[in-house]
Amino acid sequence: AVRAIRAGDTAATVARKETPDSPSSPGPSGALPRTTPAETLATVQAAAMTGATVWIGYVNADGAASQRVIAPVRVEGGFVTAYDHTADEIRTYPLHRITGVAELAEEA
Q: Does the residue 26 lie in any domain?
A: yes
* 72-96 tens-digit pLDDT: 999 999 999 999 998 899 999 999 9
Give me the sheet containing 79-84, strands edge to edge: 89-94, 79-84, 65-76, 54-59, 98-103
Residue 57 lies in a domain: yes
Comparing 14 with 38, the larger pLDDT belongs to 38
**17 within a domain of the structure (yes/no):** yes
At 26 the pLDDT is: 42
Asked, for residue 58, whether it belongs to a domain, the answer is yes
Q: Hey, what amino acid is at 52? A: A
Can you give the pLDDT at residue 38? 94
* 108 inside domain: no
**Residue 29: inside a domain, yes or no?**
yes
The verdict on pTM exceeding 0.75 is: no
| In a domain? residue 77 | yes
Domain limits for position 79 = 2-103
Distances (CA, A) of 69 to 21, 86, 100: 23, 6, 12
Confidence class for position 40, pLDDT limits 50, 70, 90: very high
Q: Total domain count for the chain? A: 1
